[in-house]
């Protein structure tokens, strides 16, 4: 199997819009700088598109985006920008989310459900466009790595296997079960055709895979993704 990375995307603040990358460094935690911060309420729960033990649904957080400028993370909303650590940012977020929140480093608690790197294939996205009538923009999936594939959902066959891409070795650990986040207005896209219900009917809401980083290193757009011989 031969396929290549066609897009990389990092999300410096969990649940906010992200930034495209041409090259990414990966460590055990995933893409360096990915979900390095989160919006945290007084109960220690992260602002998200869903409510679970660790997350609390606060859709207004998706109105914001985060970009890295010379190793500093800035948060943007419309025509305003704040550096992480600016008290005005916490005040603006608290007003928008109607709760007392702060932007805090997310070092101690894992940001992911099953693996720190999310991967989706282009053939899977195209299948969704053709069969479900959705735009299937990978930003709606908040995917870190988009790879060129010719067979829809082939990435699910990689679960339980290791693969190499660039200087990184990944272990694919689980398919991703999608949640209502894929139907939210986010990352500068505006609202598009609902995706989750149709994906639930046809695919048990699964799209893409999670991977752990076994060997840290660098990945770039255009790098070949290689499975062990025989797979």
Q: Which domains does the chain have, with CATH numbers?
A: 3-30+112-226 (2.40.33.20), 34-105 (no CATH)
For residue 106, the model assigns a pLDDT of 77
- Cα separation, 101 vs 4, in Å, equals 40
Instruction: State how far Cα 117 lies from the chain centre.
Output: 8
The torsion region of residue 63 among left (phi > 0), alpha (psi -120 to 50) and beta comes to: alpha
- Cα separation, 78 vs 90, in Å, equals 16
Task: Supply 88's token pair.
Answer: 């005005």
* 152 and 127 Cβ atoms separated by less than 8 Å: yes
For residue 230, the model assigns a pLDDT of 47
Residues in CB range of 82: below 8 A, 6 or more apart: 74, 75, 88, 89, 92
Crossing angle, helix 196-203 and helix 122-132, to 10 degrees? Answer: 100
Q: Rg of the Cα trace of the chain?
A: 17
Residues of the chain with pLDDT under 50: 230-231
Please state the φ and ψ torsions of residue 96, each to the nearest 5 degrees.
-65, -35
For residue 187, the model assigns a pLDDT of 82
pTM of the model: 0.92
């Amino acid at each position: 199997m031969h396929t290549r990375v066609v897009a990389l995307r990092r999300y410096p603040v969990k649940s906010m819009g992200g930034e495209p990358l041409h090259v990414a460094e990966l460590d055990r935690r995933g893409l360096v700088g990915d979900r390095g911060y989160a919006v945290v309420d007084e109960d220690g729960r992260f602002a998200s598109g869903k409510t679970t033990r660790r997350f609390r649904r606060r859709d207004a957080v998706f109105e914001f985006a985060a970009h890295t400028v010379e190793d500093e993370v800035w948060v943007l909303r419309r025509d305003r920008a704040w550096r992480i650590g600016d008290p005005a940012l916490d005040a603006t977020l608290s007003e928008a989310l109607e709760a007392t929140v702060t932007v805090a480093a997310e070092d101690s608690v894992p940001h992911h459900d099953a693996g720190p790197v999310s991967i989706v294939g282009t053939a899977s996205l195209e299948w969704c466009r053709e069969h479900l009538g959705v735009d299937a923009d990978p930003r709606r999936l908040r995917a870190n790595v988009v790879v060129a594939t010719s067979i829809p959902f082939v990435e699910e066959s990689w679960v339980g296997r290791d693969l190499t891409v660039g200087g990184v070795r990944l272990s694919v650990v689980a398919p991703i079960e999608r949640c209502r986040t894929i139907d939210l207005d986010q990352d500068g896209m505006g609202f598009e055709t609902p995706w989750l219900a149709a994906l639930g009917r046809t695919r048990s809401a699964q799209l893409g895979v999670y991977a752990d980083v076994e060997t840290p290193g660098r990945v770039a757009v255009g790098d070949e993704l290689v499975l062990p011989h025989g797979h």
